[in-house]
A and B are shown apart, each in its own frame.
Chain A
């Protein structure tokens, strides 16, 4: 799939995101928009997976965990656009009895989801568990996770980081959505992370950096990360993104972390995002 095709899908995913959160006047558009390019690439280009035959045990498939579960709109959109469930179901997001819960869950059996997330900091440990099981099962596929940068303030992340490096969990690629913003403000003001690269290196991980809005950078970095599998170290990608990417008035601020656009704002946002695959 070439760069233009991926851009075209990501544009539709961004439309889905703003429409979903606007429809229920709740949800998290900022981080969702910021990760649209990455999640699109992951599911349409990088991962080995079969949307038609989703199974919990993920045998001989790559697995993805969204640890920062609040950006569920981007995941739901990509899963639907890839064929895990009907695109029309995106209209049920956050509504009563929907399979598309505010934060991802397994109990309503939405295909594509293997673990509930939302309470932050747990996904890296979960991913390590699945990666270890894959090794026990002689399954050579990869486990991916995505984390918010603010999520790294949770102590459990560093318990997991220590475990994965100390036990050579080298079938694991974690990505950090490094947009520098969280719900209460800029990350540097809320609780600075210091040098992320040096922190992960000190914990024993292979650290790569990537531009989360440049498909060439995403392609090259993920290719490099995959090449590092099986060499004794887990890999973390520090992905530079812009919260709210693609909608001008949502960029450059933390204010759209968890706020839905009103009707006028939605119209403005949609005018900036090309409809490429047909709205749901």
Chain B
């Protein structure tokens, strides 16, 4: 892979915080709710600028979700903020009945997703949230790749009518999406065109895949790299167009293999154009305490794991 332009390093949650504050100034119907994690979610800027539109609900996530659903009646656009674990598993029934089934315009904004939450360990490292959310009818699921894209996605979802799950995280990572990029829900970003293998990634795994593509380029392998920031609705056209060229796929996600991006892609391939696929994901296991990047290596989510998977996928082309 040719070298990619970067714009410094930041955490994706800060992209959410900046986007939310910008949105607050732009749209007076935007309101924000938080369950005692304002600092962690970087919602302070919104809270300070729009105190009347910020609702501290305390450690009561179920109440927060249903309340957000109720707030849409009368035209508000609620953004809820807490950790991904408490944004999904803890409140699945509230989201299912009052938000997804009732088709309410709530934006569920979830930080500290996946292994990169780090030292807090498995109780907080949710790896099932994408699966839970993409199973819900009416739900849009977005996993932006870096700080810029998280900010852009935060702003974009306010204009989308309907429930959205926006997943981001804690670690500081390189920024590579252009500051002036326009975020389009459901339209994959092609980061690099290639011919030998397609890598489809989301979230922090997009950067890991960029690193992997560089390792592969050194071996003369041409990678087509897709940032699949929207898991649902999935950009099937982008997948099919790419696989028509490369004939094999690697998917990469900081999530359980069960129910995640990889399975969503596999369904497209199986039903439209069968092709070898390798899955970079956590394999039916909880996480544990540790430094974020050490955990990524231990659980098989490093750049070298993606590199090896790409070579395996290519060998399976036959």
Contacts and interface: CB of A to CB of B under 8 A. Distances in A.
B69 interface: yes
Contact of B67 (A118, A126, A166): A126
Given A136-B53, A163-B58, A63 B98 contact: no
B103 A107 contact: yes
B52 interface: yes
Nearest to A169: B67
Interface string B54-81: 0101101011111111111111101000
B73 A125 contact: no
B101 A105 contact: yes
Interface string A99-125: 000000111000000111111011101
B97 interface: yes
A128 B73 contact: no
A128 B62 contact: no
Contacts of B97: 116-119, 122
Contacts of A115: 69-70, 73, 98, 102, 104
B94 interface: yes
B93 interface: yes
A115 B62 CA distance: 16
Contacts of B57: 163
Contacts of B78: 129
A156 interface: yes
Interface string A189-223: 00000000000000000000000000000000000
Nearest to B28: A136
A130 B73 contact: yes
B170 to A, nearest CB: 26
Interface stretch (A18-26, A53-61, A76-84, A176-184): A53-61
A129 B103 contact: no
Contacts of A134: 74
Nearest to A136: B76
A136 B103 contact: no
Contacts of A166: 58
B202 to A, nearest CB: 29
A190 B10 CA distance: 53
B31 interface: yes
Nearest to A123: B66
Among B63, B64, B101, max chain A CB count under 10 A is at: B63
A106 B67 CA distance: 17
A132 B63 contact: no
A132 to B, nearest CB: 6
A112 to B, nearest CB: 13
B161 to A, nearest CB: 12
A160 interface: yes
A139 interface: yes
Given A107-B101, A126-B67, A129-B68, A159 B73 contact: no
A127 interface: yes
Among A65, A132, A134, max chain B CB count under 10 A is at: A132
Given A116-B98, A162-B60, A133 B66 contact: no
B103 A106 contact: yes
Contacts of B102: 105-107, 115-116
B66 A129 contact: yes
A277 to B, nearest CB: 30
B73 A136 contact: no
A159 B63 contact: yes
B73 A129 contact: yes
A128 B67 contact: yes
Contact of A58 (B31, B60, B69, B74): B74
Contacts of A2: none
A137 interface: yes
Contacts of A163: 57-58, 60, 63, 67
Nearest to B53: A136
Among B52, B60, B67, max chain A CB count under 10 A is at: B67
Contact of A114 (B62, B68, B73, B96): B73
Contacts of A125: 62-67, 70, 94, 98
Nearest to B137: A107
B32 to A, nearest CB: 12
A56 B74 CA distance: 8
Interface string B192-208: 00000000000000000
B181 to A, nearest CB: 33
A57 B67 contact: no
20 contacts: A114-B73, A115-B69, A116-B97, A119-B96, A122-B62, A123-B66, A125-B62, A125-B70, A125-B94, A126-B66, A129-B70, A130-B73, A137-B74, A156-B60, A156-B63, A159-B62, A159-B63, A160-B60, A160-B66, A163-B67
Interface of B: 31, 52-53, 55, 57-58, 60, 62-76, 78, 93-94, 96-98, 101-104
Given A57-B73, A129-B70, A156-B60, 11 more contacts: A105-B102, A107-B101, A115-B73, A115-B102, A127-B70, A128-B63, A128-B70, A129-B66, A130-B73, A133-B76, A137-B75
Interface of A: 56-59, 63, 65, 105-107, 114-119, 121-123, 125-134, 136-137, 139, 155-156, 159-160, 162-163, 166-167
Nearest 5 CB-CB pairings of A with B: A129-B70, A125-B66, A133-B74, A159-B60, A126-B70
